[in-house]
Structure 1
Amino acid sequence: ECPWDRKQTQESIISYTLEEAYELVDTINRRDLLGEEAVCGELGDLLFQVFFLACVAEEQGHYNLADVARTIREKLVRRHPHVFGEAAANTPEEVREAWETIKRQVEGREGIFHDVAEAFPSTLFAQKLQQRAAAVGFDWKQASDVLTKVREEMGEVEQELAGEARPERLQDEIGDLLFAVVNLSRWLRVDPELALRRSALRFKERVEAAARAAGEDGLAFENMDLDQQEAYYQQAKKEHGQ
C-alpha cells in the first residue's frame, strides 16, 4: 500500500477533489483545443476522488462505494416521480418545483436555504441564495428592476469613493454591487461564474497576444507606458475578436 494514501483523511482529500473538479471545468471549456480524450481523462481523475473518499470512509467504518451508488440511485428515483412514478411534469420549471417540494416534504429538509453550502464559490453561493429566495416568492418582478438595483449599488460605490473611501465600507458596497450583478445574471439566464470566467479568459488571451506583438516589434510589454500597452491591447482585441 502507498504510505501517502494511508495517511489521508476525507478532510485532507477535499482540496484535491476541488482541484480535479476545476481542472475538469477548464478542460471542458477548452475541449475544442484539447479534445474529448482530455475531458475523458479529467472525468477519470474526478471519479478517482469519489473512489478515494469512499475507501477512506469504508476504512473508518462509515460506508462504502456501493452505499454511495445506492444512495444516489434512491435519491434520483425519489426526486423523479415523473420518470419512475405516476406524477406528471411537462416543463423544466415543473420538474424543478417538484424537486424542491420533494426535498422539503419527503426528505424533511427545512429552511429556505437548507441545502446551500457556504463553501460554494462566492458567485455560486449568491446565485443559489437568490434562487432559493425566488422559489418562495421573494424576488424582483422583472429584470429591469434588477438592473435599476445594479445602478443603485454602483451609485453607492461612487458615493463612497467621493467621500472617505473607507476600506470596510468599500468592501461592503462592492459586495452589494456584485450580488446585484449576480441577481441580474440569474434573471437573464446567464451563469455568472461562466460569464466571468469567459471574460477573464478573453482578457488573458488579449494581454498575452499584446505582449507577443510587442515582443515581435522588439519591445517589452512590461516596460511600456500605459498608452503604448493600450494600443497593443486594442490591436489584439481586434485580431482576436471582441
Structure 2
Amino acid sequence: MEKIPAPDLRREEKLKAFDRLLTIMDELRENCPWDKKQTFETLRHLTIEETYELSDAILEGDKDEIKEEVGDLMLHLVFYSRIGSETGSFDVADVIDALCEKLINRHPHIYGDVKAENEEVVKQNWEKIKLKEKGNKSVLGGVPKTLPALVKAIRIQDKARGVGFDWEEKQQVWEKVEEEMQEFKEEFNVSGEKEIDREKAQGEFGDLLFSLVNYARFIDIDPEEALERTNKKFIKRFQYLEQESAKEGKSLGEMTLAEMDEYWNRAKKL
C-alpha cells in the first residue's frame, strides 16, 4: 500500500514566514538606498551567482549552507516580483498562481485522467505539453541560449529524448563515443608533428564531448556535477602541493615535474 504523506503541521508557520518576508521586502524597497536602485537587469548577475553558490552547497552536502543559499535565492525571486508589481506587470501572487496552473497542467497523470507508469513517461508528457504551451516551433526552442555549454548539451539531449529521439541501448551510445574518439585520433594524431586545423579539431572535440555527455546520461551520471567534483578534487590536491612544498622551502616555479609529482601522489592518498 502506498504511503500517504502526513499532514503539513507547520503550514500556518510557513505562511506567516512568507508573509514576513514579503513585508521585509516592501520595507527594504521603500527605505534602503541600495534596494531602491535595483532593477531586473542589476539583479540578474547576482541571481546567477546565488544559484552557483547553492549548487556548491549541494555538492558539498552542507545542509545548513543549502538552507541559507535557498533563502538567498528566494529573496531574489521575491525581489523580482516586487519590482514587477511596481509597473503593474505582475506581483508575487501572479507568479505563484501561474506556477500552480502550470504544474497542474503539466501533471495530467495527477490532476487528469492520463496514465503515467514511470518517470520516463512523465518527462515525455512534460516536454510535449510544454511545447504546446509555448508554441515553440522546435522541441529545443526552450533551451536557454545562455546556458553553459556542458549544461546545454545535457538539456538538449533530455529534450530530444522526451520526444523519442534517442538511442535505445547504452552500448550503442558507447560505440558512438569510441567512433568519435577514433575520428579525433585519426584526424589529430597526438604523436604527429604536423600543424592541425584548429577549427576542425574544435568541431571534432565538441562531437566527442557531446557523445560522452550522452553516455553519462545513459548511466545516470550528471556530467556537470562529475566535472565539478573533479575540479574540486584537483584544487584540493594542488593546494596541498603548494602548502606542503612551501613548508619545505620550495617554490613551485623552481621545482621539477617529478618533484611536484611526489607531493601530488601524497595528496592522492589523503
CA distance in 2, matches of 1:8, 1:58: 14
Matched, 1:215 2:243: no
Aligned length: 236
Give matches, 1:152-191, under 5 Å. Answer: 152-158=179-185, 159-160=187-188, 162=192, 163-191=194-222
Structure 2, unaligned stretches of length 5 or more? Answer: 1-30
CA distance in 2, matches of 1:18, 1:236: 33
* Aligned-CA RMSD value: 2.1
CA pair 140-83 structure 1, distance change in 2 beyond 3 A: closer
Give matches, 1:83-122, under 5 Å. Answer: 83-105=110-132, 108-122=135-149
Contact 2:57 2:66 in 1 (8 A): yes
Shift of 1:141: 3.5
Q: Which amino acid aligns with 1:199?
A: T
Q: Compute the TM-score of the two structures, normalised by the length of structure 1.
A: 0.87
With 93-102 and 39-48 compared, the bigger mean Cα shift is at 93-102
Shift of 1:38: 2.0
Matched, 1:6 2:36: yes
CA distance in 1, matches of 2:162, 2:107: 19
CA distance in 1, matches of 2:54, 2:265: 31
Q: Which amino acid aligns with 2:268?
A: K
With 104-113 and 226-235 compared, the bigger mean Cα shift is at 104-113
Q: Which amino acid aligns with 2:265?
A: Q
Shift of 1:96: 1.4
- Identity percentage over the alignment? 36
Shift of 1:135: 2.9
Q: Compute the TM-score of the two structures, normalised by the length of structure 2.
A: 0.79
With 57-66 and 69-78 compared, the bigger mean Cα shift is at 57-66
Secondary structure, in 3 states, of the residue corresponding to 1:139? coil
CA distance in 1, matches of 2:133, 2:40: 29
Give matches, 1:45-124, under 5 Å. Answer: 45-105=72-132, 108-124=135-151
Structure 1, unaligned stretches of length 5 or more? Answer: none
Matched, 1:15 2:45: yes
Secondary structure, in 3 states, of the residue corresponding to 1:114? helix
Q: Which amino acid aligns with 1:24?
A: L
Q: 2:166 aligns with which of 126, 133, 139?
A: 139
CA distance in 2, matches of 1:6, 1:176: 47
| Greater Rg over alpha carbons, structure | 2
Secondary structure, in 3 states, of the residue corresponding to 1:113? helix
Q: 1:125 aligns with which of 147, 152, 172?
A: 152
Contact 1:112 1:132 in 2 (8 A): yes
**How big is each residue's C-alpha offset from its partner over 1:46-103, in whole Å with a ceiling of 9 and x where there is no partner?**
0111011112222232111111111111111111222233333231112212222322
Match of 1:228 in 2: 259
CA distance in 1, matches of 2:133, 2:144: 20
Shift of 1:15: 0.6
CA pair 134-47 structure 1, distance change in 2 beyond 3 A: same
With 8-17 and 189-198 compared, the bigger mean Cα shift is at 8-17
**How big is each residue's C-alpha offset from its partner over 1:176-217, in whole Å with a ceiling of 9 and x where there is no partner?**
221111111112111110011111111111111222232333
